[in-house]
Structure 1
Amino acid sequence: MSLDWMTMRQLASLADPVGVLSIYVTLDLPERAEASRKPAWELRIRHQLGQLRDRLRRDGPREHWKAFAHRLDELRLPLERLLDPAAPGQGRALFAGVADGRVHTVELQVPLVDRVVMEPRAYLRPLVAAWSSAGPAGAVSVSATELRVVDLRFGRAEVVDTIRYEGTGEQRALKGPAAGNPALSQHGAPQHDLFERREEDRLLRFLRTAGPRLAQHVTHREWGDLALTGEATLVQAVREGLPPALPAEVVTLDHPVSSLPRPRLAATVTPALEQARQRRHRALAERARGNALSANAGACGLGETLGALQQGRVAHLLLDADRQWAGSRTPDGFLVPGGELPPGVAAADLCPEPHLGERMLELAFRDGARVTMLDPDAVAPLADGAGAILRW
């Protein structure tokens, strides 16, 4: 299964009365070449599955343990494919309801984690983190003959469009006199220069007209950043043709890369795209904090963010990629940060919620909010590593 935001929302909607089994694995590249023994990632995953089975047998209802054991037997072949060193994808995930339901798998060319989780809903934090750090971006290599449009996501590069410039065919009419007529040779160079200027103007006008088509790719493919690379004059013409309200940060690179294969092109633009993503993430955190301080549409801190999520006001949730949060749940289901006591609720009535981060993700997906996991530098403006841009 390819990964886009619609797929992420579909996975977030998975629910099961016994639990949704979420299995993540990252294949160690050197170990993939060794066929003499079972790889470490397979041993880790099977060990965690065994621990989960034993815990359900010891602590859970007997019906849940039996359902899990039966489902695990049904998942034997999907598990073998998930752990197969020869299968595609470095980072892989499998989601399956224990009581019933389809099996969903995702393969990415970036590392995830090695983890087995069974909760009422799919465990999506590793996928959200991968989306935030290596998610969709675009690259356009610009030359005098074509624009090559490349989709970059999760370690893969795919050419998704080629926009060719055919020229006008007017050179014959504008070229100077034959070389055998020296009396007229002085007129040849001006005629040739005139053609060159006209052809360059036509090329630049053509490149500007590519803007709306590129904007469609940005929107349709959910690119957060767009890199334009090539000769500076040509790149500038393409940039001038882009709509002013483009929902992506545009970066330009003066690199003639039209002849590079996709992997080399990706390697050339990736550092600039990573810097653009970092700037965009930091700007989101600063915007959330600034809006919160001015009593505008923003939340900063765990308490404010939790409250806004439960009111359905969050448009874009921002969370520290490295932090874990714990909290409590009131008898009526309201979530509060750890150590806080809501008015009118006794401490004895609170139920611990050790996985508050996952509950925040579930609330965000429930209401169609975007989610971004931030690295330490980008998340610095947000108290408690949590914030949000609000709808109102």
Structure 2
Amino acid sequence: MQAVAAPTPELIKELATTAPGTGVLSAHLRTDPRDPANTNHQPAWHIALRNGLRAIEADLEAGDDRDARLAFRELSERVDGELPELDPADRGRSLSVFTTADGSLDVRVTLQLPLLGDTIRWDRRPFISPLVDVVDHGRATGLVLVDSDEVVLMHWEGGRVTEPDQSRYVLDLGDWTGRESGPHDRMSGGQRSSHGEHHDSRIDDHKRRFLHDAGSKIAARLDELGWHRLLVAAAPGTEDPFVGALPDQTRERVTVTLDAHLTGEDLGSISEHVDGPLEEAWRREVEATVESARAHSSSGGAGATGAAEVLDALAQGRVAHLVYDPQLAIPASSVGPQVTAVFGDVAEDLIVERAVEHAIETDAGVSAIGDHAGLTEAGGIVATLRY
């Protein structure tokens, strides 16, 4: 089985456009060991997996395709045997598996952000919507960790923090250095220095100039590192001079600021500090998209609300960003002939999934958000439009 350490937009699009010609088992499992339900002898995710496999097998047994029944039975036994034997690190906080009986598709994706729940599906295509949700709110973000004599860059994606090369900008060195230049191992004027040793006004002024200079250095590296949004975690007294020195275009990318001294923390501790604020920032962005879609729709502009209107826009390739409630069920009566011509004949319980697949195929953004009054009022699904 191909193991993928972190999902990417490229993987999502590949899965969205895959139709192996045989049945695909998609298993999305919330394996987070911190969930109380997963601390029992048989964790909740494994119970959900077994129940889902039995339900699919029962449906196939009711049909008349004997070869499909036998093939799925073997596939079910393999998956039920393999997944519980994985190391906890390979299961992560959630796990998504896409596999066929003939092995033409066999992918396991480890997630460091939790799925909304457990989902087991059997379909002619990979069932991707639960994974799309995680990729959306886990998209790549630059972490800028600031203190008075060092700025450190970190990469956050899907709940995982890594440190890129040439990631540290240190007072008195005046250039980017590698990971080996830690926060307590720097030289100043030929003498080893540490936090708290610089108190005189001349050094304070030097630090202010350093933070100003670091801001311009960060801006120069954003495109190189592929970061379109930033979180700045600044030690007390450093946020204003640093953020204020950022060029306007760079400052606009700062979606979260934290009053926190993180330059000396390990990767796990950094992740614990930033995961929650990034989740909150993502939700604010999605809520703003919902309100934008509703406002444009009501004024006859580039927005659509409600299943019928959004599905028509999807079929026409006009959707720029789709937002839906993960509990949404779209009735077959909302699917007009134009949509059927594009989606094909779709079972009612797969209409939302096909909408998500088509949005991905047409390079639209996709977000799933629950418990939002504005989205509920709009019928549980909205879209901003390209035109």
Settle same-fold status: TM greater than 0.5. yes
Distance 1:132 1:93 in 2: 15
User: Secondary structure of 2:156's match?
Assistant: strand
Whether the aligned pair in 1 keeps the contact of 2:321 and 2:366 (CA below 8 Å) is: yes
The alpha carbon displacement at 1:291 in A equals: 1.8
Instruction: Please say if residues 142 and 235 of structure 1, whose CA atoms lie closer than 8 Å, have aligned partners that are also in contact.
Output: no
Q: Which residue of 2 aligns with 1:65?
A: 69
- Mapped pair 1:147 → 2:151: yes
In 2, are the aligned partners of 1:218 and 1:247 still within 8 Å (CA)? Answer: no
* C-alpha distance in structure 2 between counterparts of 1:28 and 1:205, whole Å: 42
Q: Indicate whether 1:353 and 2:348 are aligned.
A: yes
**Structure 1 stretch 229-238 or stretch 50-59: which is displaced more?**
229-238
5 Å matches for 1:70-219? 70-72=74-76, 76=78, 79-84=80-85, 86-88=87-89, 89-112=92-115, 113-160=117-164, 162-167=167-172, 193=201, 197-198=205-206, 200-219=208-227
**Do the aligned partners of 2:322 and 2:364 also contact (CA within 8 Å) in 1?**
yes
Q: Compute the displacement of 1:59 (Å).
A: 1.8
**Among candidates 320, 330, 334, match of residue 340 of structure 2:** 334
* 1:1-58 deviations in Å (ceiling 9; x for gaps): 1211111111212212232110122236267777xx5544334323322331232122
Partner SS, residue 210 of structure 1:
helix
Preserved contact between residue 38 and residue 44 of structure 2 (Cα < 8 Å): no
2:249 partner SS: coil
Task: Quote the offset at 1:305 in angstroms.
Answer: 0.5
Q: For the residues of structure 2 that align with 1:248 and 1:97, how far apart are their CA atoms?
A: 41
What's the offset of the Cα at 1:218?
4.7
Structure 1 length-normalised TM = 0.77
CA distance in 1, matches of 2:311, 2:305: 10
Identity %: 26
Counterpart Cα distance in 2 of 1:317 and 1:213: 31
**Paired AA for residue 95 in structure 2:** R
Change in 2 beyond 3 A, CA 1:147/1:19: same
| Structure 1 residue 105 displacement after superposition | 0.7
> 2:9 pairs with 2, 5, 29, which one?
5
Corresponding pairs, count: 353
Question: Partners of 1:225 and 1:207 in 2: how far apart?
Answer: 13
Question: Which shifted more, 304-313 or 23-32?
Answer: 23-32
Conserved in 1, the CA contact under 8 Å of 2:256 and 2:278?
A: yes
- Secondary structure of the 1:15 match is coil
For 2:377 and 2:128, locate their aligned partners in 1 and report how far apart those are by CA, in whole Å: 22
**Which secondary structure state, in structure 2, belongs to the residue aligned with residue 56 of structure 1?**
helix
Distance in 2 of aligned mates of 1:158 and 1:47: 37
TM-score by length of 2: 0.78
1:363 equivalent in structure 2: 358
Q: How far apart, in 1, do the equivalents of 2:372 and 2:156 lie?
A: 24
1:224 and 1:323, CA in 2 relative to 1: closer, same or farther beyond 3 A?
Answer: farther
Letter in 2 for 1:299: A
Q: Quote the offset at 1:384 in angstroms.
A: 0.7
Q: 1:357: Cα distance to partner?
A: 0.8
Give the letter for the 2:354 counterpart.
R
**Structure 1 residues 26 and 252, CA, compared in 2 at 3 Å: closer, same or farther?**
closer
Residue pair 2:304, 2:310 contacting (<8 A) in 1 also: yes
Residue 368 (structure 2) pairs with residue 373 (structure 1): yes
Question: Which is further off, 58-67 or 276-285?
Answer: 58-67
| Structure of larger gyration radius | 1
In structure 2, relative to structure 1, the CA distance for the partners of 1:378 and 1:122 (3 Å cut) is: farther
CA distance in 1, matches of 2:158, 2:204: 42
Residue pair 1:278, 1:378 contacting (<8 A) in 2 also: no
Structure 1: which amino acid aligns with 2:324? L
Q: Is the alpha carbon distance of 1:56 and 1:140 closer, same or farther for their aligned partners in structure 2, counting shifts above 3 Å?
A: same
Taking structure 1 as reference, are residues 43 and 242 closer, same or farther at Cα in structure 2, changes over 3 Å only?
A: same
Task: Pick one of 37, 41, 48 that aligns with 2:45.
Answer: 41
Residue in 1 aligned with 2:384?
A: 389
Equivalence for 1:55: 59
TM-fit CA distance, 1:81: 3.6
- SS at 1:384's partner residue? coil
Gapped runs of 5+ residues in structure 1?
173-191, 337-349
| Residue 258 of structure 1 pairs with residue 259 of structure 2 | no
2:323 aligned counterpart, secondary structure = strand
What is residue 341 of structure 1 aligned with on the other side? none
Distance across 2 between alignment mates of 1:351 and 1:111: 29
Residues 135 and 230 of structure 1: is their aligned pair in 2 closer, same or farther, counting only changes over 3 Å?
Answer: same
Q: CA RMSD in A?
A: 3.4
Cα offset for 1:224?
Answer: 5.0
**Residues 181-233 of structure 1: CA distance to partner in whole angstroms, max 9, x if unpaired?**
xxxxxxxxxxx7556535632442233222231354353xxx65533423444
Aligned to 1:189: none
Q: Which secondary structure state, in structure 1, belongs to the residue aligned with residue 372 of structure 2?
A: helix
Q: Gaps spanning 5+ residues in structure 2: where?
A: 175-187, 190-199
